[in-house]
Amino acid sequence: MSDIVIDICKLGKRYSLSHHHRPDSLKAWLRSLVHLGATTPADHSTEEEFWALQDVSLQVRQGECLALIGKNGSGKSTLLKILSRIIPPTSGQVRVRGRVASLLEVGTGFHPELTGRENIFLNGAMLGCPEHEIRRRFDAIVDFSGVERFLDTPVKHYSSGMYVRLAYSVAAHVDADMLIIDEVLAVGDAEFQKKCISHLALALASGKSAIVVSHSMPIIKALSNHVAWLREGRLFEVGSIDSDILQRYAA
């Protein structure tokens, strides 16, 4: 059996951007009303085609951690949303083998009116973990998160750091084959970051895989063995973490 767990082939994502052009002064607005005999000013709309991703091909192997780097707007989050089946691609295809647990932004998969306890079961179900498995791992999830004191408080009262700790704890205990993490570790404190990095290192050593987006070079260097550099929606360069890609990106 192949050790490739994610196979991305010529992936593309296109959006249509609408631009509405209205008169930019009161005089122009009144002139448009008189000219058109209308009760509202003319609204001239145009459509623009925007490719957030274009012709991206990548592979992630079992036990590998791939770091995605690139400036804001380079397509990193779009790629992760496609891999997490949140949005469909416009072109190309993705093959994913096994269960995927995604942490894409603070609070994803949580209902603000539900308590931390209730959201553990909700989020676990969304990640494909049966209820009996969540119950069996419940104590470990709570212990890892460190939010036991606030477990029966609605999560709308949680800080962003508490959100991340609980969300990561659930994802860490659903036995996913692949973890997809988008910058959320930057929200947690240094102690929790260290705890997550240790957990991810053990998960990778056991054969699990991960894709990590982070602007923190220490986190990338601590976890990743490969790096992919995205520029304006295209794959600019991919290589080993020991190559000079990170140095040239940071320059």
- C-alpha angle 4/241/59, rounded to 5°? 20
- Residue 182: what pLDDT? 84
**Average pLDDT for 33-45:** 55
Give the tens place of pLDDT for each residue, 82-123: 998 889 999 999 999 988 888 876 666 789 999 999 999 998
92 close to 235: Cβ distance less than 8 angstroms: no
Tell me how far CA of residue 186 lies from CA of 39, 73, 189, in angstroms: 51, 18, 8
E-strand spans in the chain? 4-21, 44-61, 65-69, 91-96, 100-103, 178-182, 209-213, 226-231, 234-240
> For residue 22, is pLDDT > 90?
no
- Residue 1: what pLDDT? 47
Give the confidence band of 45 by pLDDT, cuts at 50, 70, 90: low
Mean of the per-residue pLDDT values of the chain:
86
Q: Which residues pair with 212 in a beta bridge?
A: 67, 181
pTM above 0.85, yes or no: no
Q: How far is CA 218 from the centre of its chain?
A: 19
Q: Which of 31-45, 46-60, 191-205 has the lowest mean pLDDT?
A: 31-45
DSSP state of 177: S
Domains and CATH numbers, the chain: 62-250 (3.40.50.300)
Place of tokens 């709308």: 156
